[in-house]
A = this chain, B = another copy of it.
Amino acid sequence: MSTFPRSYPMSGGDDQHSYNNNSSYQKAAINSVGEKTRQCIIEKLDLPLNSDLGTFRIADYGCSIGPNTFHVVQSIIDAVKFKQLEGKNETSLMPLEFQVFFNDQPNNDFNTLFITQPPSSEREYFSAGVPGSFHGQVLPRNTVHIGHTSYTTHWLSDVPENVDDKNSPAWNKNYIQCNNSIEEVTKSYKVQFTKDMKLFLEARAEEIVPGGLMIVLGQCLPDGVPLLKTYQGILVDTIGDCLMDMAKSGLTSEEKIGLFTIPAYFPQFSELETEIEKNRSFTIETMESVRHPLEYIPLSNHFLISMFRAILSTIIKEHFGEDVIDELFDRVAKKLAKYPIDFKECEKNVTYFILLKRK
């Protein structure tokens, strides 16, 4: 039950800027691997799905506030039920009961999650919210049958060492995230990422039952590609540039920007693979890159800005104050209108799908 020193959930509530209404990019990825997830569960889940099991427990780690999490857990339940029907010779007097644990940081907007979830009459599971950092154990040992997480493991449990220290070679200058332009910064982020992936996998190894599955979906870089060559890197750097413009106008300060770091790291595919392979509690059943449906479509500025605002506004508010948000994203919009991202010139990031099985 570790503590989490800093925690910046997605934008809460249900308004135009909320994650609830600006998570279709993540949804597209989840949808695109829906059939793969289903097949994996049917083929690889290795549990007796008879009445002895009683309760089948699913956890979504870093669920945010929906709606993607509801979609994911329903697909998992459908696949488990299908598999149960297949093995019907195991006489089952009582149907399985499903319990779903929605995990996220304690300051995640669970109120919105609970109010927007499907009504109990349409839900075939018992719902529970689990507040806590997934870098530590948040559920009891040997109680989870399928774990899932999507677009979460790039979030670090803390700001990497020295990246906000002006006197360190690992200082990230006025960049607000590791864009791989400074080697020492990349190293520092990587150290933190390595530590956090270890904590994440160790915690899941405690929670997931032998034979149970852990599905990890997310985004990383192709080998050899720095973040600054992808549109995501360009966009985050643009946000940083706009903050610098605001500093020049006296709306914030360079000092403040020098101390600001988004604790998110996108590893290269082989780096991620190495971290996963280090863990001895799971077998890697699948680890592959998948096609993101929006990969070859130039995204509109409005779409990009809404998505990044929903993801980053909590952390930006925390550091720079509530007032900067509207001004900042207005400036980002103007800058992108003037200098649109050239998607043809960008390197594409990788959407990965990993299926782990608890030994």
Assess the B126–A127 pair: CB atoms within 8 A.
no
Point out the residue from B94, B109, B126, B130 that lies within 8 Å of A111, measured CB to CB: B109
Q: Looking at A1, A107, A123, which has the most chain B CB atoms within 10 Å of its CB?
A: A1
**Does A224 interact with chain B (Cβ within 8 Å)?**
no
Residues 206 to 234 of chain A near chain B (Cβ within 8 Å): none
Across-interface contacts of A138 in B (CB, < 8 A): 126
Q: A109-B111, A140-B55 are in contact. Are A127 and B132 (CB under 8 A)?
A: yes
A345 smallest CB distance to B (angstroms): 43
- Main secondary structure, interface of A, reads loop
**Does A121 interact with chain B (Cβ within 8 Å)?**
yes
Of chain B, the residue at the smallest CB distance from A206 is B97
A137 to B124, CA, bound (A): 12
Across-interface contacts of A115 in B (CB, < 8 A): 106-107
A55 to B140, CA, bound (A): 6
A110 to B116, CA, bound (A): 14
Point out the residue from B3, B126, B130 that lies within 8 Å of A140, measured CB to CB: B126
Assess the B54–A121 pair: CB atoms within 8 A.
no
Assess the A139–B111 pair: CB atoms within 8 A.
no
Point out the residue from B2, B94, B140 that lies within 8 Å of A99, measured CB to CB: B140
Across-interface contacts of A101 in B (CB, < 8 A): 128
Instruction: Work out how many copies of this chain go into the complex.
Output: 2
A22 to B115, CA, bound (A): 25
Assess the A120–B55 pair: CB atoms within 8 A.
no
Assess the A110–B111 pair: CB atoms within 8 A.
yes
A139 to B99, CA, bound (A): 8
A120 to B131, CA, bound (A): 10
Point out the residue from B97, B120, B137 that lies within 8 Å of A3, measured CB to CB: B120
Assess the A97–B54 pair: CB atoms within 8 A.
no
Across-interface contacts of A109 in B (CB, < 8 A): 111
Of chain B, the residue at the smallest CB distance from A101 is B128
Across-interface contacts of A3 in B (CB, < 8 A): 119-121
**Does A129 interact with chain B (Cβ within 8 Å)?**
yes
Assess the B55–A123 pair: CB atoms within 8 A.
no
Across-interface contacts of A97 in B (CB, < 8 A): 140-141
Assess the B136–A120 pair: CB atoms within 8 A.
yes
Assess the A114–B120 pair: CB atoms within 8 A.
no
Residues 74 to 124 of chain A near chain B (Cβ within 8 Å): 94, 97, 99, 101, 106-107, 109-111, 114-115, 117, 119-121, 123
A130 to B126, CA, bound (A): 8
Of chain B, the residue at the smallest CB distance from A56 is B140
Assess the B111–A2 pair: CB atoms within 8 A.
no
A255 smallest CB distance to B (angstroms): 30
29 of the cross-chain contacts (CB-CB < 8 Å) are A1-B121, A3-B119, A3-B120, A3-B121, A54-B140, A54-B141, A54-B142, A55-B140, A97-B140, A97-B141, A99-B139, A101-B128, A106-B114, A106-B115, A106-B117, A107-B111, A107-B114, A110-B111, A110-B129, A114-B129, A120-B132, A126-B130, A126-B140, A127-B130, A127-B131, A127-B132, A128-B129, A129-B129, A129-B131
Q: Which 6 A-B pairs have the closest CB atoms?
A: A55-B140, A114-B131, A1-B120, A129-B129, A128-B128, A97-B140
